[in-house]
Structure 1
Amino acid sequence: MTVTGIITAIVVGLIIGVLGRLVVPGKQNIPIWLTIVVGIVAALLGTFIARALGVADTRGFDWIELIIQIVLAAIGVTIAANAYGRRGLRR
């Protein structure tokens, strides 16, 4: 993977992660780096699922792929917020 590919993955991960956070109701107390990681994973898994369903390469913008990625990011943000929030409550 080239430097451009890594930077692109980070930017796309940030966007997908932020969109996933917007979909989840309430406040999520997770750091931005965790949002980026969740977004990157959701973007990769979403692309894989969209390709498996045969909707990754459509004419124009791939709305179905984007929706899959955002839903996965929302699920990931919810899981990360619950796990990260519990970690701070231990004494």
Structure 2
Amino acid sequence: MSWLWAIIVGLVLGLIAKAILPGKQNIPLWLTTIFGILGSILGNAVAAWIGIDETKGIDWGRHALQLAGAVLIVALGTPLWAMIRGEKQTA
């Protein structure tokens, strides 16, 4: 069941990250989900590193770091995807 939650959270974080970033991110939905999952993993690692991975109640700090990780991964991954596909990147 944890893989299902990882996919759902990854999809949601990836879509939010695409909405936050300016311009069009021309990546498929499956790659958006993967980038969201990677961003979530990155955010969890940073949260553990700074000591806010386990708190009482809702972990707003951890969730914010997960979203920031997803934004970073989508921002870096979109031009890489375009380069692999041989597409020109537009602003």
Higher relative contact order (CA 8 A, sep 6+): 1
Report the counterpart of residue 87 of structure 2 in structure 1.
89
1:4-51 deviation per Cα after TM superposition (whole angstroms, max 9, x unaligned): 111111011111111211211111000011111011111112112101
Question: CA–CA distance in 2 between the matches of 1:8 and 1:78?
Answer: 23
Question: CA–CA distance in 2 between the matches of 1:85 and 1:72?
Answer: 20
Equivalenced residue count is 87
Where in structure 1 are there 5+ consecutive unaligned residues?
none
Structure 1 segments (4+ residues) deviating >3 Å: none
1:27-86 deviation per Cα after TM superposition (whole angstroms, max 9, x unaligned): 100001111101111111211210111111122211111111111111111112111222
Which of the residues 51, 54, 70 maps onto 1:73?
70
Q: How does 1:48-63 map to 2 (within 5 A)?
A: 48-63=45-60
1:89 Cα shift? 2.4
Give the percent of matched residue pairs that are identical in Structure 1 and Structure 2: 36
Name the Cα RMSD after superposition: 1.4
Q: Which segment drifts farther, 48-57 or 78-87?
A: 78-87
